[in-house]
Chain A
Amino acid sequence: MAAPTSRQPLTRAERMRRREWALLTTPLVIFLLLFLGFPTVLDIIYSLSQVTFETLRSPRLSGLGNYGDALTDDAFWSACWFSLRFGVLTAVAECLIGLFLAIFLAPLLEKRPALMALLMLPLMVAPSMVGLMYRLVLNEFGGPVPYYLEMFFNNSPAFLDADTAFWTLCVVETLQWTPFAFLLFYTAYEAIPGETRQAAQIDGASRWQMLTLIELPLMLPTIAVAVFIRFIDGFRVFDNVYTLVGSGPGGVTASISIYIYEAFFKDGAIGKAIAASILLFVVSLVVLVMLSWLARRRKGAIS
């Protein structure tokens, strides 16, 4: 990517070209400003104001009180903690299972690519629907899982009470999104050049050595990307948790997204909800900027 060696006077043709590039991106930029930029500015103003649903049009500036409300709310911190734990655990579980499936099933899938379709099916089903489906699956009267557990073990635990709901949700999320990790890993695995494998074989590498010394190191960048994407998606989880249990008994399953949603729509605590969403925005921004800075530095170090 050639950064413009600026301060040299641009020729007329170059100026025309630049104007053309700008023109082509203008609709997109206007759209983004209108639907993301403007709301964000609005959000910041509201976060510093005293607002209720009645005074939405005329917010009164009130300083940082809303942020104080959010930061001193125990429910806010417990939602952050839920999201963090949920994101980490599901990302790790999904990537471990996905990695195993990708490598173990590769010989099968290379010969019959159509087998992929059924493994990818969970990705096509709306997470909100999957949450509703588990209401049926786990229902104590009429759900197949409790039915079979009763039949074989004479005992079926409560899946969605205060102690177990978190783990049930982790399993639900992991089962739906493992195919995503699997897909990335399978693609990366297939992209390893045949010569690399042959060279290792000629050098007498065992299957295990091939895996740990050649294949996994080559897949490492993909693994990092997959863990990151799955963590982000787990951290901001809303749909399936909301449709399966809402914020759960005593709010134990309120993710940060559910916390903000409920503060806004259920409790009408607009200021607090908005302050919490701005905090979330700032944290995401800082993390994303840091990550792309790191990625660029590593790229620079390699090349």
Chain B
Amino acid sequence: MKILRWIVYVVAVLALNFPVIATLVTSFKSSGELSINPGLWINQPTIENYLAVLQVSDRLNIYAYLANSFMVSAIGTILAILLAFPAAYALARGDFGRRFLMPAIVNLRAVPLIIFAIPIYMMYQAVGLLDTQLGLGLILTIVNLPLAVVVLVNAIADVPVELDEAAKIDGAATWQIMAGIIRPVVRPALVTCAIFGFITAWNEFLFGLMLTTNNAVPVTVGASFFFAASGGGVQWGLASAVMIVGALPPAILGLIMYRQISGSLTAGAVKG
């Protein structure tokens, strides 16, 4: 029975990660080898694809895409936490906002984002936020907010109110309680929000596709440029290397921090 469980585990891991594995293998093959050996075995591993990807041309610039992804994800993560934390404190401690604000935010996660994409595009066009890192970062904040609020409200609600009250008797102002007492206690939840928010923002595609064209293109969108780049057929080795490079930051973060992430996923689901 134990062996059977191991077999199921290995099969599941291979099947679920199959596209990643195949792409990883292909990224280490020369185009010559790829044409005669499309299988999952590499005869002569080469890093030439990675070297080619890291070469900047005037149309393809992987560094710019990665930098854009990093910046917009950082904005979308930090701003979401800054907005969510004080609100979560009020929602957890007062009966304020429970009737309308909280349900609205929680349900936001279930609304198809395409609905807001078109008016936001038109609004951005009017105020000049199209194709800017700030513009995309602000929208990723919206994407991250629901889960950040839910996770932080849960975390703060678990902190005994007596801590607040003791501090208040000592004459602490509300912002001092939040920054000095609540923040250290809910640190794990804040870390979870940051990691999960960063991964979600990095992997977002729809808004990147709609709101950027040139200057703020994130790597999820930029990766598809490499498919069309070579004119004729797709250079699969090159395209694979791009996808691995683009997928690596969130994947590494996720593999290291899988425990925090599973916590945030399940918290969001239970309250959703």
Contacts and interface: CB of A to CB of B under 8 A. Distances in A.
Interface in B90-111: 90-91, 93-99, 101, 103-105, 107-108, 110-111
Interface in A18-68: 18, 20-22, 24-25, 27-29, 31-32, 35-36, 38-40, 42-43, 46, 56-57
B239 interface: yes
Nearest to A28: B87
A207 to B, nearest CB: 11
B123 interface: yes
Given A42-B119, A121-B16, A144-B38, A21 B94 contact: yes
A5 B117 CA distance: 41
Interface stretch (A157-165, A194-202, A209-217, A276-284): A276-284
Interface residues of B, number: 101
A294 interface: no
B186 interface: no
Interface in A113-166: 113, 115-130, 132-137, 139, 141-144, 146-148
Interface string B1-18: 010011011001101111
B97 A257 contact: no
B4 to A, nearest CB: 8
A133 B12 contact: no
Contacts of A135: 227, 234
Interface of B: 2, 5-6, 8-9, 12-13, 15-20, 22-23, 25-26, 34-35, 38-40, 82-84, 86-87, 89-91, 93-99, 101, 103-105, 107-108, 110-123, 125-126, 138-139, 141-142, 145, 149, 174, 199, 202-206, 209-210, 220-221, 223-224, 227, 233-234, 236, 239-240, 243, 246-247, 250-251, 253-255, 258-259, 261-262, 265-266, 269-270, 272
Q: Which 5 A-B pairs have the closest CB atoms?
A: A124-B254, A39-B119, A126-B203, A236-B112, A21-B96
